[in-house]
Chain A
């Protein structure tokens, strides 16, 4: 069962990928979905067995590398943290596989699509069950590959190809730091296996690297790696572009699972981070800034998927600042609930796009809520959960994180609290802006499209309903275990809070107005959205023209893409061209070529020396002999 949860998806991916063309699309879908259902059965069972039965376990598979003390093996580590992730990933992934049957029904290469989806799931599972940093890196890069393939799934579209490359390369920037963090971890602990690292935390606390505490440096390097994968401020630019991929992909990879890998990494390495206060402060500040920054952009975007993508970015920021103030449990809890409601929102958006004949611009929608009531209702549920409205899933996790930020000591916690509150307002605002503009008002699509608006088939709606149930109840049901009074028994040491870290307790001691504040802010965000877009729809236009520079700044995503293009991409290309044509072909190759032509000249000169006169030859020979003898005589040869 331990092995099955991880390897069934690989089996499905291999069969669909290698034999997809022979067995046909139907069979490929059937195989991958069967494998995913089996994996989900294993995964969810394990979630209850390991997390609630308190039975962590590690399954050794085989030796990977064992060179001079650098020992790594393939192994599946199941503790509460992995079990939560495995259960969530297999469950959500199965739903998304089923949804894709409907969504991709018109695509000519479905076998390939399902193979990629399953491959992605396998890589994600390897990531979360890794028992050492190298295997984690295998999954880490593996999900990068799968997301590259899936974003570029429609490879005939230039924009999709470019987005895929961008995703892979930006992720690689993070991976570079991950790799260096891995190297330092090895030289600090003499191992990259989690058990050994966590077991010798106390011994190596005094270790330093270049004058800095080694734990701090490891923490910062790994966090930079996490920034790439989890699209944090600075390395976030790939995520919105990744929306070029098919919508189920966005739901699976860019909302529910892959992008949360960074948060998972920080939680997994919590024993090290606990002794790295500066690294944690950086995590907090970057996370909080991302939460607010992405939310501001989300307010003005007009592509339905991009709004949700920025929302994901923002929610990841929340998770990071929660981890940064030491409340890793809260971060993972939000990761868990977020998977449900964000997958729901993405798949709901997919359902809308499906209904609107592949239109993604919300300015060309409107007036469709009566035609697709089920999607509309589920979109509401997802947004309620996202905005943290009481009793929905997001309420429990989000409130907890904001309270944790308030309860934390130091200015970073206060900064995170401020950003979290502001972002909570914006989240509610852009969520309802999205709902109102998409579903309400006058129809803005052309007549032809409007006639075709239809509710999605049951195979797409059913997974949405299941996710809707999760988005509604996951918070209520699981809060007592993840963050409530049973948290210590539930986590069972899978996440470590240092001896000085009492945040899990302090959260419950905050003043009474603090838990209420996010709700009030969220509700007012909804209200403002209603006023601006439902009741007085002339306000947004006026605001946009009154504050045109700010509006453009936000609309163009703070000009990050342009900035990077100007300081990295274009100089690198110019440098590449210069190095090739000037240095390589000019200077370096010029030497041998120059020598060659010199040799030709000399040879031509030498031809003239061959005069045919015996006397001059004799003279040359004697002169040469004289030099040779004198060299020998002075012992210069030996």
Chain B
């Protein structure tokens, strides 16, 4: 059946739902229910993570095709099947989702006091949606999960968020949903033409260039908002600022990757001609994203907003890498997505540590924290440095590969991308300087406690991963090597065929 011997991906996808259902059956005293909900959610997500490790060990890195495939009839008369599987591009994102979920649950342990049961349910449902989205191999299944992600996230921001949570959650929902509707139209069109929504089958279905343009634009509307690319990014700072810490972690860690994943999974292989045509346009948007949002980040006075803008800049590197269409660029983009998932997630957790103590996100409220929270200062410094792409930490290999790849395409594009290195250092160090360095003068900060054992436990895996990805990136790059090479080869073949046909 597949390498695991049992329907692993289905289990990974729906096991969280089982946990969620169990939590919903809990009745009784509020404290007890809350405690049960926390532990159930933690154990469910830990089991899911444990199971997902099978992917790490059993995944065949030499195979460029889909593995762990499961296919069941679903809506046979419409050519829709329940089809899941992973290849080198998606496999690590499933691991990223299953890793971040237990960490988020652990990070919300004490900070969420209201409606704990519903909060945990929302997180488990979110995990189902994320995992399902990354392993879907049918457009309808994909679309269901892709949109399904919005619902728990909408609730997490809207219910457990901060003061302007309703505005932010509606903005988040409507913005991303509007784009997706256009994608639905594109999917319907593809289904009309090919009679199937099976993704691997569609890869072999050639689409005439004129139509590719329209489909590309429809996909672009959806993915560009999700990434988010400049100028569709303004929902992100608001969503981040209002979301609870764990919500921000998932938002930055996984949800932002969905757009870029969509480009990689659909736009490039299905629409090679349109992708090539639109590449210069994407370069411009990406470079603008890097330079513009880095500058905007420099002016921020709110910690979460600053990191949110830095995310947009980092995702600019990702979209740039994807549209270079060469092995270095695609690998670098994928690596950057993973490392950004870890690093920006960790940075939001760092902000959360302070927020839990002081209940303020204003940078000016802090200063001199390093004096009383030395362990925290070290952790924060580590992730700050990873974020500015210091070699030896997770942020560097991706950025290096993308810049090298971009140079091949156009040196000025590479220059723009690399310019983010300077600005990135400026805004991150400026943030760190204002929060951690300086003299400790504010009275109420003097009594802050350093990180608790639970907080250290949350950071430990992220620290290990950050250093591991920085020192031995090849152990991650090797996962997507074969798939990326195949993707690039197919892209070039498709363009070559189109050129021949045009002659």
Contact = CB atoms under 8 A, between A and B. Distances in A.
Contacts of B40: none
Contact of A64 (B414, B421, B472): B472
Interface string A577-609: 101110111001100100010000000000000
Interface string A65-84: 11111100000000000000
B481 A67 contact: yes
B331 A68 contact: yes
Interface in B299-323: 299-300
Given A64-B472, A67-B327, A183-B414, A176 B296 contact: no
A576 B439 contact: no
Contacts of B415: 176, 180
B213 interface: no
Interface residues of B, number: 61
Contacts of B327: 67-69
Contact of B474 (A63, A140, A168): A63
B186 interface: no
Interface in B445-476: 471-474
A21 interface: yes
Contact of B404 (A168, A182, A209): A182
B295 A579 contact: yes
B422 A579 contact: no
B397 A179 contact: no
B208 interface: no
Interface stretch (B46-54, B65-73, B259-267, B430-438): B430-438
Interface string A140-156: 11100100100010011
A176 B331 CA distance: 21
Interface string A87-107: 000000000000000000000
B220 interface: no
B429 interface: yes
A573 interface: yes
A172 B298 contact: no
A465 interface: no
A176 B399 CA distance: 12
B205 interface: no
A589 B438 contact: no
A184 B485 contact: no
Interface in A177-222: 179-180, 182-184, 186-187, 209-210
B215 interface: no
Interface residues of A, number: 57
Given A67-B401, A176-B419, A572 B298 contact: yes
Contacts, number: 149
Interface stretch (B96-104, B138-146, B250-258, B385-393): B385-393
Given A62-B472, A134-B400, A180-B418, A67 B477 contact: yes
B391 A67 contact: no
B370 interface: yes
A161 interface: yes
A3 interface: no
B472 A138 contact: no
B115 interface: no
Contact of B397 (A65, A162, A588): A65
Nearest to B291: A579
B234 A589 contact: yes
A242 to B, nearest CB: 15
Interface string A333-358: 00000000000000000000000000
A70 B401 contact: yes
Interface string B176-208: 000000000000000010000000000000000
B392 A180 contact: no
Contact of B299 (A70, A161, A576): A576
Nearest to B478: A66
Interface string B356-382: 000000000000101100100000000
Given A155-B438, A183-B407, A187-B408, A66 B474 contact: yes
Contacts of B385: 145
A67 B331 contact: yes
A165 interface: yes
Contact of A156 (B298, B368, B419): B368
Interface in A312-349: none
Contacts of B332: 67
Contact of B421 (A142, A172, A577, A585): A172
Contacts of B336: none
B270 to A, nearest CB: 20
Contact of A179 (B175, B300, B403, B485): B403
A581 B298 CA distance: 12
A580 B472 contact: no
B370 A155 contact: yes
B231 interface: yes
Contact of A168 (B368, B392, B429, B437): B429
Interface of A: 21, 62-70, 134, 137-138, 140-142, 145, 148, 152, 155-156, 158, 161-162, 164-165, 168-169, 172-173, 175-176, 179-180, 182-184, 186-187, 209-210, 572-573, 575-577, 579-581, 583-585, 588-589, 592, 596, 638
Which 9 residue pairs of A and B lie closest in terms of their CB atoms, listed nearest first? A68-B327, A183-B407, A576-B299, A138-B391, A155-B437, A576-B298, A589-B234, A576-B295, A580-B296
Interface of B: 171, 174-175, 192, 231, 233-235, 292, 295-300, 326-328, 331-332, 368, 370-371, 374, 385, 390-392, 397, 400-401, 403-404, 406-408, 411, 414-415, 418-419, 421-422, 425-426, 429-430, 433, 436-440, 471-474, 477, 481, 485, 488
Given A168-B429, A183-B406, A592-B175, 4 more contacts: A165-B429, A172-B422, A176-B421, A577-B299
23 contacts: A62-B472, A65-B474, A67-B332, A68-B327, A68-B485, A70-B328, A155-B370, A156-B439, A168-B425, A169-B425, A172-B422, A179-B403, A179-B418, A179-B421, A180-B407, A183-B404, A183-B414, A186-B404, A572-B295, A579-B299, A580-B299, A583-B292, A592-B175
